[in-house]
Structure 1
Amino acid sequence: MKAKFKPDNWVEFAEGFRAPPGRFRILRELPPDRGEPSYRIKGEREEFERVARESELRRA
């Protein structure tokens, strides 16, 4: 499956996922998780990074 997002893209969590609101920057693409692309992301207002699967995200 080809990755939908690239580093430096801004995304937000899709509705239905328990995550803080706001924009998150794609830092890098990670190996697939359960057959779908996954990413290391960082929120605008957060000091730490997160990992998210592509199905959890949408373009900001």
Structure 2
Amino acid sequence: MVQHSFSVGQSVELVPGRLDGNIPRGAYTVQRLLPNDGADREYRVRNVRDGHERVVRESQLRSGPNQLFG
């Protein structure tokens, strides 16, 4: 089983692909690691600006700054 690359509380940058619709890119905080048997792990993340939560794939995420946003 492949491990998640990001951890709860970590700041990440969401970089949606062109087929991902209107998902706002930018700074998010990992809220929860989701179980997934596929190669592309999933996370519940919260947008730093508006607080909206969404489920995203690991391939949509990049490491963010090492600071917590509140």
CA offset digits 1:28-57 (Å, max 9, x no partner) = 100116432100000111232110010110
Alignment of 1:1-60 (within 5 A): 1-14=2-15, 16-17=17-18, 19-32=23-36, 34-60=38-64
Q: 1:40 to 1:15 in 2, by over 3 A?
A: closer
Unaligned 5+ segments in structure 2 are 65-70
* Counterpart amino acid of residue 24 in structure 1: Y
RMSD value over aligned CA atoms?
1.9
TM-score normalised by structure 2 residue count: 0.70
Task: Give 3-state SS (helix, strand or coil) of 1:40's partner.
Answer: strand
Q: 1:2 to 1:27 in 2, by over 3 A?
A: same
**Structure (1 or 2) with the larger CA radius of gyration:** 2
Q: CA deviation at 1:14?
A: 2.7
TM-score normalised by structure 1 residue count: 0.80
Unaligned 5+ segments in structure 1 are none
